[in-house]
Amino acid sequence: MRIIVARPGLRWHLKLVRTLAVILGDQLNEDSAIFEGFDPQQDAVWMAEVTGESQHVPSHKARTVLFLSAMRHFRDRLRARGLTVIYQELQPGSLRGLLERDIKQHAPQQVLCVWPGDFRVKEALAPHVHRFLEDRHFLATPDEFRQHAQGRKQLRLEYFYRAMRRRYGVLMEGDQPLGGSWNYDAENRESLPAGGPVGLIEPLRFPPDLTTQVVMAAVGQQLPGNPGSLASFSWPVTREQGLAVLADFVEHRLPLFGRYQDAMWTGEPWLYHSLLSAALNLKLLDPREVLAAVEHAAAPLAAREGFIRQILGWREYVRGLYWLKMPGYAELNALHAQEALPEFYWTGDTPMVCLREAIGQTLKHGYAHHIQRLMVTGLYAMLLGVAPRAIHEWYLAVYVDAVEWVELPNVIGMSQFADGGIMASKPYAASGKYIDRMSNYCGGCRFDPAQSTGPRACPFTTLYWDFLMRHEHALRKVPRMEMQLRNLARLKPEQKKAIAEQAAVIQEAGCPTTSSLEPAAASAPPLFNAL
């Protein structure tokens, strides 16, 4: 059928629509398979902004603004190339509802869409999409990962990562890894010097342009109850800005990235991290160009390998696992966790400095780096026994780089061990001593990470021992938990009882309260708390 189209400087005219090319908010790459065979004279792009995508979980305002601003910039870029773009700006409803409406109005001969990054979205659009196209952005397809997984009892990253290194020839000398080792963890993951970060250069940020400002106003008006702040919004919303962030990271922070990638410091949300995940996940950047820039950078091999493992290894691995295991993967709960997510996850109002720092910067920027997510907010939720779906939905809501294909496996498998070991070889369970070792948070906190009971006991340490006690039987089947369970066995019955009682008070409140700070029995020996 024909639709009415307007272009700058031209009169309104009619145009036949053969193919309606659906482009989602995380598919903003001009080399997408959606454009293969695209005829500007016959085909049209369809894009839509709907409040439903920011309300099925209460999306951080910065996350919503990032997606919508990037979409509008991409729309304008396509229109400047002469493409017809049917675009719905932010309005109530669902993607499926708007697509149904526009298909009825325009009656295209076929509707195409690149494979979405969210099972829910794919299922919603499937009745109206004639064909889902392969997502060329990624270096491994879901079918290729399925072949890799076939016959394997465990799906460990290491084997997949080595295969990807060989396949793409990244950091390789023939068939062997550059430098003789596949990873350089021994040289990476140090804590910061006692005086704090050295050589930090503030990462490149972008003041909101007019398009972004208009989106910010719309989000503030239509989604006022969503969490988070827009006061510091400065994320890249165009491909050019994404490329600038990549260059800035490679020059200024990559050299120290590996050494300090797991470190944390009060008031320093960025440290040596790349801040590339948002641009990558919206596909403003291609992982191939990121890998090439890092591989050939003037930085230590350990730093380059540590970052490349995240892009060529982990990122591709979690996507493969997501599509291999969905939809059932989202419902896994191997540890039978049922507690509610504490309210302070939405406010940052907690006396625990580590959680206050990680959640505070999350609400301010929509960002926290991987250790803050895994070993602070994620660890606390697992030790407390929060239902996996509740903490999964929180992560999906509050981080600007969150798309379900990458967020859900990281939470269900890596952070919460809710898949029972499909992804990780052990639960990432630790006491407050880990946070003390990797940050300066504990020095300014009212709680002592070496104490498990009593008024100054660190809730992480209390809950750590309680976690081991609650799940002792199941964890005996996990070989890598043997040492921690041996330490648990050395606790005296009265110590276990005191820990369980204090943990019960914390679980009841979600975080320490006045009652939980009352004196209790002597804490476990510091030896048992040191992990």
User: Could you give the dihedral angle defined by the CA atoms of residues 322, 328, 329 and 330, in that order, rounded to the nearest 10 degrees?
Assistant: 100
Tokens of 221: 């008006």
193: CB partners within 8 A, 6+ apart? none
Q: Is the pLDDT of residue 525 over 80?
A: no
Residue 379: CB atoms within 10 A of its CB come to 28
Partners of 173 in the beta sheet?
176
Q: Note the Cα 488 to chain centre separation in Å.
A: 32
Helix axis angle, 287-295 to 239-252, nearest 10°: 20
Residue 411: CB atoms within 10 A of its CB come to 27
Residue pLDDT, tens place only, 265-287: 999 999 999 999 999 999 999 99
List domains and CATH numbers for the chain: 2-133 (3.40.50.620), 142-203+253-325 (1.25.40.80), 343-529 (1.10.579.10)
Confidence of residue 9 (pLDDT cuts 50, 70, 90): very low
State the pLDDT at residue 254.
97
State the pLDDT at residue 171.
98
State the pLDDT at residue 188.
87
- One DSSP character per residue, 43-70 reads -EEEEEEEGGGGTTTT--HHHHHHHHHH
**Which single residue is written with the structure tokens 């065979």?**
37
Q: Is the pLDDT of residue 69 over 90?
A: yes
User: Could you give the dihedral angle defined by the CA atoms of residues 492, 496, 502 and 507, in that order, rounded to the nearest 10 degrees?
Assistant: 160
**Residue 81 DSSP class:** T
- Which residue in 24, 28, 25 sits closest to 242, CA to CA? 28
Q: Specify the DSSP element, H or E, that contains 133.
A: strand 131-133
- Which residue in 483, 264, 239 sits closest to 375, CA to CA? 264
Quick check: 155 and 312 in contact, CB under 8 A? no
Q: Is the pLDDT of residue 139 over 90?
A: yes
Q: Is the pLDDT of residue 100 over 70?
A: yes
Confidence of residue 153 (pLDDT cuts 50, 70, 90): confident
Count of all residues that appear for the chain in the document: 531
Residue pLDDT, tens place only, 448-491: 999 999 999 999 999 999 999 999 999 999 999 999 999 999 99
283: CB partners within 8 A, 6+ apart? 26, 27, 28, 29, 32, 137
Q: Is the pLDDT of residue 517 over 80?
A: no
Query: What mean pLDDT do residues 49-63 have?
Result: 97
User: Could you give the dihedral angle defined by the CA atoms of residues 450, 454, 456 and 460, in that order, rounded to the nearest 10 degrees?
Assistant: 60
401: CB partners within 8 A, 6+ apart? 277, 278, 280, 281, 367
State the pLDDT at residue 512.
67
- C-alpha 246/C-alpha 275 separation (Å) is 8
Number of helices (H) and strands (E), helices first, in the chain? 23, 9
- Amino acid sitting at position 516: S
Query: What mean pLDDT do residues 306-327 have?
Result: 98
- Which residue in 456, 459, 466, 455 sits closest to 488, CA to CA? 466
Q: Is the pLDDT of residue 237 over 90?
A: yes
Residue pLDDT, tens place only, 453-462: 999 999 999 9
State the pLDDT at residue 515.
39
Residue pLDDT, tens place only, 345-385: 999 999 999 999 999 999 999 999 999 999 999 999 999 99
- C-alpha 166/C-alpha 150 separation (Å) is 19
- What does pTM read for this prediction? 0.92
Residue 158: CB atoms within 10 A of its CB come to 12
Partners of 4 in the beta sheet?
14
State the pLDDT at residue 152.
85
State the pLDDT at residue 189.
85
Quick check: 279 and 236 in contact, CB under 8 A? yes
Confidence of residue 186 (pLDDT cuts 50, 70, 90): confident
Query: What mean pLDDT do residues 394-401 have?
Result: 98
- One DSSP character per residue, 223-258 reads -TTSSS--TT-----SHHHHHHHHHHHHHHTHHHHH
State the pLDDT at residue 502.
97
- C-alpha 226/C-alpha 245 separation (Å) is 28
State the pLDDT at residue 16.
65
Confidence of residue 530 (pLDDT cuts 50, 70, 90): very low
- C-alpha 485/C-alpha 468 separation (Å) is 7
State the pLDDT at residue 1.
40
Phi first, then psi: give them for residue 499, nearest 5 degrees: -60, -45
Query: What mean pLDDT do residues 100-116 have?
Result: 96
Q: Is the pLDDT of residue 522 over 80?
A: no
Residue 442: CB atoms within 10 A of its CB come to 21
Q: What is the rounded average pLDDT for all residues in the chain?
A: 93
